[in-house]
Amino acid sequence: MATTPDAVIVGSQQIRVEADQIPFATTGLDCPTIYADMIRGTSVQGEVAKISLIEHKVHAIANEVQAYHVANIVIPASQLRGWGAYFTKLADAAGLPTTDV
């Protein structure tokens, strides 16, 4: 099936969303709360950054601490510096010590 210029225009118009059409969460009750105590890894591919979060818990049967993958955060790679600056400012305001990752 060949793609014509008209088909491309129609397709792009179908996915166009105006800002006022995007659902806005007014409370934190309609989104998940994720606890993570470590970043397992980060990858940047093209324009997207993926941060994998883990939580350490004691495995009841094995009686040892294990790492469980709890979530991935996917953001535009261009926002990585902004996220870093935000969390650094937050840690400074809370008086947290600087640690190496």
Helix (H) or strand (E) holding 86: helix 80-94
Q: What is the pLDDT of residue 31?
A: 76
- What percent of the chain shows pLDDT beyond 70? 70
Whole-number Å distance between alpha carbons of 79 and 70: 22
Q: Torsion over CA of 33, 39, 43 and 48, rounded to 10 degrees?
A: 30
Whole-number Å distance between alpha carbons of 21 and 42: 31
Q: What is the pLDDT of residue 9?
A: 52
Let me know: does 71 contact 94? Beta carbons within 8 Å. no
Name the pTM for this structure.
0.62
pLDDT tens, 41-84?
999 999 999 999 999 999 889 899 999 999 999 999 999 999 99
Indicate the DSSP class of residue 28. G
